[in-house]
Chain A
Amino acid sequence: MSYYRPRTSAPPDDEAINPYGQVWLPIAAQIGIVLMIVIAIYLVFRFLTPTLPRTAIQVGDLILALTPFGLWLWFGVRRERLAVQPRTRLLMVAIVTALAANAIAFPLIERIYQVDRWLPLAPTLNRVLGYAFTIGVTQELIKYVVIRYAVWREHFRTRADAIAYGVASAVGYATVLNLQIALTGDANLDIVAIRIFDNLALNIAASILIAFGTAEMRFERPSPFLMPLMLALGAFLTGVVIPLRTGLTNSTFSAQTAINAPSLIFGTAVSLIVLVAIAFPMALLFATADRRQREAAARAP
């Protein structure tokens, strides 16, 4: 008697299993390229100290400010179009977040909270709490509200969608901050580049926390306090990182030692460490939750 084993063949590519676009790889590529640009500009200005005309600095600042958005369009939006089932509202989320940031968050922080008047000179604990409750909550709440009303539920097909839309809102918000930096001063390219990276990294890190909350809210039955907790964590992250970055970047004044030049690259290192420290555990959490969900679906009758 002949026995024929059923012949199985592997799917042709990943797309057959996962029809949705990847999220972590585009984030890594985008952050990696921005980081390389920042380091290159920093090294050029540190060792070659070029003197650029004012117009060139202004144009350079503007190009740098738009670079993260351009890279996100390339790695996030354009690659998404190649997926079998693309995420259709990425650009909308980014633009609406940017508009809300410019129309609500920026005036609220600058005119109502007036953080520049009281926070930089406040004691450390006050600064952490102050930045968390002013800048932190404002930016995370705006990103959350945009995602909640624009895409949450209907456009959340997998947990990765939460990350993709979270990053879209982070890039939109960071672009407004970057444009404010580029258009309101004539700072050198190295300083602007570093601040742009800091804004992008911090916004993406906080958005990953928000994304975890929105994903859990969509696919699981978490406590109703999980989402406000994730928002508070995202805001607290902002509250801690801003004074920490400033403290490490600025030179200290001391009667005993000579005053050193500001160590700008330390701020970038802090931003990168924070982003990696948030992204890796959260990626693990997302992967674990996805696996649990698949196993539960397989066990279901």
Chain B
Amino acid sequence: MTIIEVRSAESTELTQRQRWSHYFTLFYGVIAVVIALNLRDSTLNATRSYVDIQAGIRAAYPQTWIIDTGGASIFRARDMAVAGFKTTIQIAIRPISLSTSTRNLIDILTLTRAQTLAAYRVLSQTTFFLNEVEATELEYTYVSSDDNPFLAAVPIVVRGRDILITRGGQAIIVTFLADANTYEQNLPSFQRFLADLEF
């Protein structure tokens, strides 16, 4: 005699609830990605405003950077959270005579820096329009070493970008400095700063 065992086969079809549950879960994942990117951008691109009525400058610098108005520049903001060379944006204003051209200004900057900065090299020089004002962009590099001899740190290659604008009897020099390794990564912060800069 042969015994045949009959079992009720369980349906392999997904129920409507199971299907929708899966879709909702995937949809939640997609929404979460959008929220995460938005959170990242809003935090990374958050800015504080800076106004200097005397110099006639209005700017928006990254929120987490530390502002420092001392020294040769009228404005300097640095990202102190970065290890090694602190990514810097600074603005300096220099009086110039009416006969001084941008070419003269670049020469003065190059000569001064070649004497004070180690391995200073100009990489490129281009002219463009910033907020409908003619400006000159100067890219350069140098080697920065810590002044403290007790800090046994390896010198850092710094890459910089100057934006030179001449206006009446003064030259505005907007400078961006960053470790050469993180220069491209931090450049958008400077580009946003330039886009918001009013002078």
Interface set of A (CB-CB < 8 Å, partner B):
112-115, 117-119, 121-122, 126, 129-130, 133-134, 137, 141, 144-145, 148, 153-154, 217-218, 221-228, 231-232, 235
Contact = CB atoms under 8 A, between A and B. Distances in A.
Given A153-B12, A224-B21, 9 more contacts: A113-B36, A113-B37, A113-B40, A134-B36, A137-B32, A217-B21, A227-B25, A228-B28, A231-B28
Contacts of A154: 12
Interface centre among A126, A221, A228 (most CB of B within 10 A): A228
The dominant DSSP class at the A interface is helix
Most B CB contacts (10 A, CB to CB) among A122, A126, A137, A145 go to A137
B9 to A, nearest CB: 13
21 contacts: A118-B40, A118-B44, A119-B43, A121-B64, A121-B81, A126-B43, A133-B35, A134-B36, A137-B33, A141-B25, A141-B29, A144-B25, A217-B21, A223-B17, A224-B17, A224-B24, A225-B21, A228-B21, A228-B24, A231-B25, A235-B32
Nearest to B27: A228
A224 B20 contact: yes
Contacts of A129: 39
Contacts of A137: 28-29, 32-33, 36
Interface residues of B, number: 25
Contacts of B21: 217, 222, 224-228
B15 interface: yes
A119 B39 CA distance: 10
Contact of A130 (B15, B20, B27, B43): B43
Contacts of B26: 145
B17 A222 contact: yes
Nearest to A135: B36
Given A144-B25, A232-B28, A117 B36 contact: no
